[in-house]
Structure 1
Amino acid sequence: MSDSERTAIGDDEREALLDRVNSQGATVGARVPDEIEVDGSPLDLSAFIVETRKVDSVPPAINRKVTAARESLRSERARRLDRLETEPVDRETAEALAEEVIGIDRALNALEGIRRPGFADEHHADTLAGHERWLAFVDQVR
Structure 2
Amino acid sequence: MDDATREKLLRRVNRQGATVGASLPETVTIDGEALPLAEFVVETRRVPGVPPESRELLASAKKTLRSERARRLERLESDPLDRETAETLADEIVGIDRALNALDNIRQPDYGDTARAAAIDDHKRWTGFLDKLS
Bin for the TM-score computed over the shorter chain: 0.7 to 0.9
Using the size of structure 1 for normalisation, the TM-score is: 0.78
- The number of equivalent residue pairs is 122
Task: Note if 1:93 corresponds to 2:82.
Answer: no
Task: Note if 1:51 corresponds to 2:40.
Answer: no
What pairs with 1:4-83 in structure 2 (closer than 5 Å)?
9-83=1-75
Aligned to 1:126: 115
Residue of 111, 118, 123 corresponding to 2:103? 111
- C-alpha separation in 1, matches of 2:32 and 2:57: 18
Task: Structure 1 unaligned segments of length 5 or more: list them.
Answer: 1-8, 134-142
Classify the secondary structure of the residue corresponding to 2:100: helix
Classify the secondary structure of the residue corresponding to 2:49: coil
Q: 1:128 to 1:31 in 2, by over 3 A?
A: same
Displacement of 1:127 after TM fit? 5.4
RMSD over aligned Cα atoms: 1.9
- C-alpha separation in 2, matches of 1:60 and 1:38: 26
Aligned to 1:136: none
Displacement of 1:124 after TM fit? 5.3
Classify the secondary structure of the residue corresponding to 2:112: helix
Displacement of 1:65 after TM fit? 1.2
Aligned to 1:139: none
Classify the secondary structure of the residue corresponding to 1:13: helix
- Which one has the bigger helix percentage? 2
- C-alpha separation in 1, matches of 2:67 and 2:32: 12
Using the size of structure 2 for normalisation, the TM-score is: 0.82
- The percentage of aligned residue pairs carrying the same residue is 55
Q: Which runs of 4+ in 1 moved over 4 A?
A: 127-131
Classify the secondary structure of the residue corresponding to 1:77: helix
Q: 1:10 to 1:115 in 2, by over 3 A?
A: same
1:50-105 deviations in Å (ceiling 9; x for gaps):
00001112112211111111111011101111111001101100000000000000
